[in-house]
Structure 1
Amino acid sequence: MPVPDFVRDSFVGQVIYYASGRRLFRYPEERPGFVLPPRYLSNSNEKPSRDSPASQPRDRRDSALSQRGPRSGSDRSQTLAEEPSHRDSKRKRPAGPLERESSQARELLHVHGRDAAEIEKAEEREIESSTIVDWYGPDDPEYPGNWSFLKRSFVTFQIGWLTFAIYIGSALYAPGIQDISQKFGISPVAASLGITMFMILSPLSEIPQFGRSPVYMVTMLIFVLLQIPTALAKNLGALLPLRFFAGFVGSPPLATGGASLADMWPPADRVVVIGVWSLAAMCGPVLGPTLGGFATQAEGWTWTIWILLWLSGTSWVFLALTMPETSSQAILYRRAVRLRRLTGNPDLKTQAEIEAANMTMNEVAMMTLVRPFLLGFREPIVIFWNFYLGMIYGILYCFIASFDVVFIEHHHFNLAQNGLAFLGIVVGGVIAFFGFLPWALFSLKPKFANGTFVPEDRLPPAFFGAFFFPASLFWFGWTSAASVPWILPILASGLWAIGAFYLFQAGMNYLADCYPRYVASVLASNDLFRSSIGAAFPLFSTAFFHNLGVGPALSIIGGIAIAMLPVPFLL
């Protein structure tokens, strides 16, 4: 009995598929009546030309396919039984502006530890002797860029929700710091290490044999289970390691969520969907103190962790049942496995599979773990944006400490009321998103249509954000006194959210466009810097604001933001 594709391709669907010996949740190739394309039937078939779609670099083919957009249902129904005409597609597509990389990036990202030319020759020999498994045609329904608009929107919501459910764990803990300090007999700074340890994240590897969805689901399940001993911890020695491991295993959606969106959406639409993802990433740590404040005030700090358990646990069930794989490389690898089993032809392979087979474990580790570090320290574009966006996240966690000083100590809010003060940031983020849409739709999108787009076209929103960012810090700092109405610093936090959203939007999209083939590594590098800076700020924020005062303290940070203001203009 056929099941919806998103259920079949979900984590649970894949478990059922393999556990049933591939008898349940079958793919089109495994159903009666499927017509296999002739080039996959035997070893003697003519191999694809080096200029054919099957042998072109993956990022070029994916970019070309994604520009076509989703097809109608009637068009899709015929795709799997049709063999594409390669005679009409042997023209080599020129590399567009989205495919350019700096020479230093190419040198860095293609380094393997062995002679690169030797590896490339070995890959070429294997490609020549193999039949490359690729999409069945430009309208292949399994290609994420050809999914229906509704399906892509649904998966986009899932990526955003997954990011929110993990990120809220960083700040949900914050209102319980004083309670932890009292019950464990430690200083508030030591208690705040629970935020810091959670924010030290490590991006996990992306390998075609794994894909994104299994990594998301397995790591999130561990994240959910870790919340139980965390809530039951009786001392700091147990609490901090558990918070660290929860942050570590929760890192994949934060590091590669943007790459998952890039799998499905063409560059012209990516500016909007990454905006949705950015809003989810912002709302997580902002709404954390709101929920955590009510929970801590009513039941103590442990209830902040129980809420995180319920939220992440129900999210895992929902996503495990309905979230499909988005990685083109993983989808094609699974297709190759099915075709090898059906035809008995061991030479049916994907290009990514051949590339992975020619790499040692050391080289795989270099590609997936070391590359984000190297990108973050050696590529000037990545360095600038990593520190800029890291500052945004660091100041977000500074706000968590400053709100306690401004609204609890100065305006005598209780924990629950202090949590509600963070809603100003949420409202500012929503205003920024809807203010951003007209520019994205009516200014940026036509540049894709007429072929004049370059990555720097992503940067104009950052021009406004670069000014709003420091202005909001001075405004918040110098209206934080008890004699000033409490609404004014909340309005300032809303302006900060607008500036932060515009900078985040411009930076993330710009990085993705400058390194299209290595989106996951670039975004993982950015996440590493953001998380590290965000982890450091809670350690000194409270003493910083108490010793200097909120106005002078935020003025210092605002001065740093002014010094960074020229970055988007120079780029």
Structure 2
Amino acid sequence: MAELEAQVIPRDDEISKELNIVDFEGPDDVENPFNWPTKKKARQLVLMSFNTFITPLASSMFAPGVGDVMKEFNVTSSMIGSFVVSVYILGYCFGPFIIAPLSEIYGRLALYHICNIIFLIFTIACAVAQTMPQLIVFRLFAGMAGVCPLTIGSGTVADMVPKEKRAGIMAIWSMGPILGPVVGPVAGGFLAEAEGWRWVFWVIAIATGVMIILTMIWYRETYAPVLLKRKAARLRKATGNSNLRSIRDTGEPISQLFLSALGRPLKLLFGSPIVSMMALFSATIYGYLYLMFTTITSIFEDKYDFSPGIAGLAYLGFGVGCMIGLVITGIVANSIARNHVKRGCFRPESRLLPMMVGCWFMPAGLFWYGWSAQADTHWIVPIIGTGCFAIGLMAVFSSVSTYLVDSYLRYAASVTAANTALRSLAGALLPLAGPSMYDALGLGWGNSLLAFIALAMCAVPFIFWKYGAKIRTHPRFQMKL
């Protein structure tokens, strides 16, 4: 009997330890971002979407002015011309591995502000660059800072939005990384033609300056571990109880936490089949997107005699397709989540259903675009093909982001960093092969090659729909993160 009581009755030190734990005050605590007023959440999400739109906009808005840059700096290599555009995306490969760990130690807010200011500085540097090497280096550093909202944006959504509403918000957030590069060449084509390529960077810098002012005023910290850490510090000061600790406090020193967090994106990328395959799928389509971005202007100028400004309008097919994909994916995904939550059968794999249908639009769009451009059909036909591709792109991009966040919710920034880094590497390098591939195979077979690869990748969501839960819970893939 005494042994039983000893097991049931907690010891004094255990009671003392529990009393010193700081957590949110129940499910309705207003300090918890999940319980923020709708107006406060909406303001944060709108600004975050604006932030996530501006920095990808800079990746491609400059593309129509590359010819003028090459003339001014006496550069004749087409590969260098493609690289000065894609080097920005190369910066996306390195930035996440620093930004994600820091955000999981110091929170989202500081990283947003610091990276936005660095992005502004290097955008201005691009506007005043005097040589091609200078422009390439400044673009690289601008990309490293500009990737911040793409890296931790999904984590910010997960911090505030419950899972039954998360897919729709993630779809809106996902619009920035896709629609920004689509809108960029449309505006950049006319701007570069009218005012010169340097004004492209000045316009981006002005927009970034406005964004920084707004975010400085209205952004708030959303990361629960940091909020609880601050709450514990306030209570220690108010009560004089030095033993108060956040429930999320592991007791590890900052240096150890940083080293652990630094390797987390790589652990997820190479240690989890879910992250590896989903990131590979995302990287494939993102590489295709930037390959098309860097070649579509020259294709429509050569085949349809478009001026640089009018050639920028060819990107509107992507824009319309992205909007269609965004609306359909968001509505369907939220409906599925609500239904599955109500029935008690929600799991991260529930996010894959829109992707299982939408992914087929990508190979269809690639075939359509390539062969219609090869056959010199009316200019609207290949543009419709790019719109078909964009519908599938949004379905995949949004579903992958939400699925990975739901699978690794606490480490949303790290898993997004892994995904962002791999897809950005593809987005930076694949365009370099575009001109030579089209020269060797033509537009028809060149895009058909891409379509066949995309067709094979369409098996990925079906595999994880069936086996994803088993893989996530298998001891072999249970990593210490």
The normalised TM-score by structure 2 is: 0.88
> 1:368 deviation in Å?
2.3
Q: Which aligned pairs between 1:16-415 and structure 2 lie closer than 5 A?
A: 128=17, 131-186=20-75, 187-200=77-90, 201=92, 202-203=95-96, 204=99, 205-206=101-102, 210-352=106-248, 354-355=249-250, 357-359=251-253, 361=255, 363-415=256-308
Cα 1:197–1:441, aligned 2, differ >3 Å: closer, same or farther? closer
Cα 1:420–1:134, aligned 2, differ >3 Å: closer, same or farther? same
Structure 1 window deviating more from structure 2 (129-138 vs 443-452): it is 129-138
Structure 2 residues without counterparts, runs of 5 or longer: 1-11, 465-481
CA offsets 1:96-131 (integer angstroms, 9 cap, x no match): xxxxxxxxxxxxxxxxxxxxxxxxxxxxxxx93871
> 1:343 deviation in Å?
1.9
* Contact in 2 for aligned 1:406/1:481 (Cα 8 Å): no
* Contact in 2 for aligned 1:410/1:481 (Cα 8 Å): no
CA offsets 1:419-450 (integer angstroms, 9 cap, x no match): 11111111111112222344234333121123
Helix, strand or coil: the match of 2:29? coil
Helix, strand or coil: the match of 1:479? helix
Structure 1 window deviating more from structure 2 (540-549 vs 425-434): it is 540-549
Is 1:542 equivalent to 2:435 in the alignment?
Answer: yes
Distance in structure 2 (CA, Å) of the matches to 1:535 and 1:497: 19
* Contact in 1 for aligned 2:265/2:418 (Cα 8 Å): yes
* Contact in 2 for aligned 1:178/1:188 (Cα 8 Å): no
- Aligned amino acid, residue 195 of structure 1: V
> 1:516 deviation in Å?
2.0
CA offsets 1:213-232 (integer angstroms, 9 cap, x no match): 11101111111012222111
CA offsets 1:66-121 (integer angstroms, 9 cap, x no match): xxxxxxxxxxxxxxxxxxxxxxxxxxxxxxxxxxxxxxxxxxxxxxxxxxxxxxxx
* Contact in 2 for aligned 1:279/1:429 (Cα 8 Å): yes
Distance in structure 1 (CA, Å) of the matches to 2:193 and 2:220: 39
> 1:251 deviation in Å?
2.0
Distance in structure 2 (CA, Å) of the matches to 1:222 and 1:207: 16
Q: Tell me which residue corresponds to 2:342.
A: 449
Distance in structure 2 (CA, Å) of the matches to 1:251 and 1:349: 33
> 1:209 deviation in Å?
5.8
Distance in structure 1 (CA, Å) of the matches to 2:413 and 2:241: 32
Distance in structure 2 (CA, Å) of the matches to 1:374 and 1:550: 38
> 1:366 deviation in Å?
3.2
Q: Tell me which residue corresponds to 1:527.
A: 420
Helix, strand or coil: the match of 1:480? helix
Cα 1:199–1:427, aligned 2, differ >3 Å: closer, same or farther? same
CA offsets 1:485-513 (integer angstroms, 9 cap, x no match): 01111111111111011111221111112
- Aligned amino acid, residue 35 of structure 2: N
- Aligned amino acid, residue 166 of structure 2: R
Residue identity (%): 34
Cα 1:427–1:207, aligned 2, differ >3 Å: closer, same or farther? closer
Distance in structure 2 (CA, Å) of the matches to 1:256 and 1:545: 36
> 1:360 deviation in Å?
6.0
Distance in structure 2 (CA, Å) of the matches to 1:147 and 1:405: 49
Distance in structure 1 (CA, Å) of the matches to 2:434 and 2:191: 23
Distance in structure 2 (CA, Å) of the matches to 1:305 and 1:269: 36
The RMSD of aligned alpha carbons is: 1.9
> 1:282 deviation in Å?
1.0
CA offsets 1:427-482 (integer angstroms, 9 cap, x no match): 11111222234423433312112311122211111122221110100000001147
Distance in structure 1 (CA, Å) of the matches to 2:19 and 2:396: 46
Distance in structure 1 (CA, Å) of the matches to 2:425 and 2:436: 19
Q: Tell me which residue corresponds to 1:464.
A: 357
- Aligned amino acid, residue 177 of structure 2: A
Q: Tell me which residue corresponds to 2:470.
A: none
> 1:334 deviation in Å?
1.7
Distance in structure 2 (CA, Å) of the matches to 1:208 and 1:296: 40
More helix by percentage: 2
Which of 326, 332, 337 is equivalent to 1:433?
Answer: 326
Higher relative contact order (CA 8 A, sep 6+): 2
> 1:47 deviation in Å?
7.7
Question: How many matched pairs?
Answer: 446
Cα 1:510–1:295, aligned 2, differ >3 Å: closer, same or farther? same
Helix, strand or coil: the match of 1:509? helix
